[in-house]
Amino acid sequence: MQHMPDNDFDKLFRDKFKDAEIEPSMNLWANIEKELEPKRKKVVPIYWMAAATIAVAITAMLVFQKKEVIHLQGADPIAQIQPTTPTDVIATPDDLTQINDQAVKQSIAKVSFATTKVETKATVVLTTDQITEDPKNNQVAVQPNTINDRLLIKPMDPKPLNVEPIKEQVVVENPVVLASLPVDNKVEDVINENSSDRKGIRNVGDLVNFVVDKVDKRDKKLVRFNTDDDDNSSIVGINIGFLKFNKKNKN
Amino acid sequence: MKVTKTYTINDLMEGCKAGNRQMQEMLYKQTASKMLAVCMRYAKDRMEAEDVLQMGYIKIFQKVKEYRGEGSFEGWIRRIMVNTAIESYRKNLRTLSIVPIEDAYEQPSQGFDFSSLGMQDLMKVIQKLADGYRMVFNMYIIEGYSHKEIAETLGITEGASKSQLSRARAILQQEIIKMEGFGYATHAG
């Protein structure tokens, strides 16, 4: 018996299946719908989580704002004095004596400590080393506290000046130069950290700092950016109450 | 019934693009039975076919935004169904069981009418084929893929595609003849 030619055979199948319909089970759509559903629900928690985080951040800000207002007092006058002391010290001996008087008044104990050490040239070098180190140490210790404390410790700078009257000035000048560099840097840092307004608003970091300055009157701001002219800004400090972060503390 | 017909398939397509659940359901109701028939050809049984159908519709609703109106929308839906079926076959690829062709066909003594066969009968015969044969037969005969395309899709050689097709044809003819013979036998008896 002859076989059906392939073409006819193929056509038979093609025609039979062309408009073929088979009714699916009743519950199949429900299954599909169920599988489509979860993707919708997943969207909702994201908004809720965002809202919750914002709420927590705001409440934390409000709660901690009031407590820390007290620390603010006396911050400005200190910032003005600081730059004058190191530069004047280097300039003239006359100024030095004046400052020495102040220093002696403010911290007699410290001065006496310095003078006892100054006996030879070698010890002079030692004291200068101390001076370079002392500001650092002091500032690190001071960081978490208010700026007020920093100035109280500053009077230690004149220490080498006490040495001067005893020895030649040439010896003293070098140490002072050595000492002045790190001191200056520190002073600038302190100023930058506390008054971004002076530079004006040049990038996003400045803008954020400005806004946070206005809103958050605490010593350590909600967010603090370190900014420069090249539009680079990096977070220096965060303070959301329970979460505190300050780059300066790590130095 | 008239409610569904007030929407053209393009209306439904737009609705699905917008993610409208009602429109998705209407599109499903309008096309599902045709698509199940497609899936059945590729599956071993109805359960497997309905699994593929479900996966296919999920994919359709997810991808409908990518439909750019090239070719008919129904054709696009059908293509996704076929691809889903092939994908599913490749995922649980059982070793291509080469079914040996029986040496001699039982030749019926008189001519018979193939066209009297119903679609359901042909479906049964196709589903009985070994998986590999069924794939090649469906893709080549019904969907119109070339042997080259089939070879690339299934990861076999073109020669394998051709030989599997001719074997599939032979098996199907044999099965149909058996069926016809049985039919005649029952008629006679």
Window B:23-42, CB contacts with A under 8 Å:
24-25, 28-29, 32-34, 36-37, 40-41
Residue ending a domain, among B57, B92, B127, is B92
Distance from CA of B76 to the nearest CA of A (A): 15
Same-domain status, A90 and A162: yes
Instruction: Looking at the structure, tell me whether residues A222 and A185 fall in a common domain.
Output: no
Number of domains in chain A: 2
What does the mean pLDDT of chain A come to?
A: 63
* CA B11/CA B4 separation, integer angstroms: 11
pLDDT value at position A106? 55
Cβ contacts of A41 on chain B, cutoff 8 Å = none
Long-range contacts of the stretch A183-188 (C-beta < 8 A, 24+): A183/A86, A183/A135, A183/A157, A184/A86, A186/A135, A186/A136, A186/A139, A187/A82, A187/A83, A187/A86
pLDDT in tens, A5-57: 888 888 888 988 988 999 999 999 999 999 887 655 555 678 888 899 999 99
Helical H segments across chain B, by residue range = 2-5, 9-17, 21-42, 46-63, 73-91, 119-128, 131-137, 147-154, 158-188
- Shared-domain flag, residues A165 and A80: yes
Q: Among the listed ranges A69-83, A187-201, A231-245, which one has the minimum average pLDDT value?
A: A187-201
Nearest by CB to B142, which of A3, A14, A33? Answer: A14
| pLDDT, tens digit, 9 for 90 and up, residues A135-149 | 555 555 555 555 555
CA dist., res. B32 & res. B25, Å (int): 10
Tell me the ipTM for this assembly. 0.79
Residues spanned by the domain of A240: 27-72+196-251
Is residue A61 within 8 A of residue A222, CB to CB? The reply is: yes
Domain boundary residue among A177, A194, A211? A194
- Say if A20 falls within a structural domain: no
pLDDT: is A250 or A44 the higher one? A44
Q: Which residue of B has its CA nearest to A25?
A: B50
3-state DSSP assignment of residue A45 = helix
CB within 8 Å: A6 and B57 = no
Is A245 among the domain residues? yes
Q: Give the pLDDT score at B160.
A: 95
pLDDT confidence of residue B182: 58
- Among the ranges A219-223, A247-251, B78-82, B99-103, which has the highest mean pLDDT value? B78-82
Can you read off the two tokens belonging to residue A131? 């001076």
Same domain (yes/no): B84, B145: no
Would you say residue B57 has pLDDT above 80? yes
Domain range for B172 is: 95-189
Please indicate whether residue B189 or residue B177 has the higher confidence score (pLDDT): B177
Please compute the mean of the pLDDT values over residues A98-127 and round it to a whole number: 48
Q: Mean pLDDT throughout B89-110?
A: 54
Verify that B55 and B107 share a domain, yes or no: no
Residue of A nearest to B118 (CA): A16
CATH code where residue B161 lies: 1.10.10.10
CA distance B33 to chain A (A): 5
Query: Which of the pair, A68 or B92, is modelled with greater confidence?
Result: B92
Whether residue A99 is predicted with pLDDT greater than 90 in this model: the reply is: no
Chain A residues within 8 A of B25 when measuring between CB atoms: 29, 33
Mean pLDDT within B65-73: 90
Asked which of A155-159, A188-192, B59-63 is least confident by mean pLDDT, the reply is A188-192
> Which of A17, A19, A34 is best to mutate for the B interface (most B CBs within 10 A)?
A17
Distance from CA of A27 to the nearest CA of B (A): 11
Same domain membership, residue B86 and residue B155: no
What is the tally of structural domains in chain B?
2
